[in-house]
Structure 1
Amino acid sequence: MTVTLRPATEADLMAVGALHQRSRVAAYGSFLPLEALAEPTPEAMGRYWVERWAWERDDHRMTVADRDGRVVGFSYLGPDDAGDPATGLLNAIHLEPGERGRGTGRALMIDSLAAMRSRGWAHAALWVLRDNAPARHFYERGGWSATGEQRDEHISTALVPQLRYAREV
């Protein structure tokens, strides 16, 4: 069956949160301690998205990938966190673990870049975990390049280095 991309609704947010948690465990489990990935629970991650969406829905965009009536991926974008008005930030692309390699992530990335263009942004940026080699390779194949900027962010109790990537839209 094919994947359909559509704007997320409030009714999707709990499913998005549960998917986000499953995606994090599958993607980060090889380099982060399991105790750092045990929290938040899928339900808590859903509540996180409900609250975040309430605050950011006016200037952010969430797209869900739907396969057979089930959310199997999502993307989330908004203004650049560095404050550059010509740049959009791809905050997230997450997939159900079994959805990797099926073209869903690529479809979400292409859709996100088109949305950034339609908002008038000339540049796109994102942050990716330094040790997430599959994600880095995915973005590099999609035309993204590391900028040399790095930051450290917490995922639960683990301090995790992130690299900034950028490209033209």
Structure 2
Amino acid sequence: MIIRRLNAGDLAAYRALHRFGMVEAPMGFVDVAETDAARSDDVVEAMLARGEAWGAFDGDRLIGKLTIDALPYPSLAHTFWLHAVYVHPDGRGTGASGQLLRAAIADAQSKGASRIALWVNGANVHARGLYERMGFKQTGHVPGGIKVADALVDDVLMTMELT
């Protein structure tokens, strides 16, 4: 397995995996088909060109992805935000998610981050377990903060302090 930063040349593979994931695992996404369809390739390509996304590859096939970035305010620059984490079913159980997270965390730390934060669907026990194993701790939640298929579920804030 190869873990690397994604770039603008990965646009088609990134979008295809993201779109597949929204259908295959809707509890793992706040994004939905309508908002994704309205998001232009230029917007996604710019995010990839900024180096904010990481990918896990099985040969030439993108099987996992995540995005990590900091908000564009100096007072918040110490916290990097993790989002759009997804591993295709074919890549589950291979360690892809852990490798992606380790690469993104190391990169954020090298850029001066002192904290990584994320929001996760409270009903997504697999994702929450992964983040806990990686060292994230629940630091907040919003009851009924996410609406998935007309059901309200808690939105859980998890953070990792970097040393």
TM-score after normalising by structure 2: 0.80
Q: Distance in 2 between matches of 1:158 and 1:48?
A: 25
TM-superposed CA distance for 1:93, in Å, is 1.6
Residue of structure 1 aligned with 2:101, choices 92, 95, 109 = 109
Q: Distance in 1 between matches of 2:18 and 2:102?
A: 20
**Does residue 17 of structure 2 align to residue 24 of structure 1?**
no
**How many pairs are equivalent?**
160
Amino acid aligned to 2:5 = P
Which residue in 2 is equivalent to 1:4? 2
C-alpha distance 155-8 of structure 1, shift in aligned 2 (>3 A): farther
Which residue in 2 is equivalent to 1:121? 113
SS of aligned partner of 2:25: helix
SS of aligned partner of 2:83: strand
Which residue in 1 is equivalent to 2:155? 162
Is the 1:60–1:79 Cα contact (8 Å) retained in structure 2?
no
Which residue in 2 is equivalent to 1:50? 41
C-alpha distance 102-57 of structure 1, shift in aligned 2 (>3 A): closer
SS of aligned partner of 1:6: strand
C-alpha distance 74-114 of structure 1, shift in aligned 2 (>3 A): same
Percent of pairs identical after alignment?
25
Is the 1:13–1:49 Cα contact (8 Å) retained in structure 2?
no
**Does residue 137 of structure 2 align to residue 145 of structure 1?**
yes
C-alpha distance 167-6 of structure 1, shift in aligned 2 (>3 A): same
Which residue in 1 is equivalent to 2:56? 65
C-alpha distance 14-46 of structure 1, shift in aligned 2 (>3 A): farther
TM-superposed CA distance for 1:109, in Å, is 0.4
Question: What is the Cα-based RMSD across aligned positions, in Å?
Answer: 3.3
TM-superposed CA distance for 1:27, in Å, is 3.0
Q: Distance in 1 between matches of 2:125 and 2:110?
A: 30
TM-superposed CA distance for 1:145, in Å, is 0.7
Q: Distance in 2 between matches of 1:9 and 1:60?
A: 6
TM-score after normalising by structure 1: 0.77
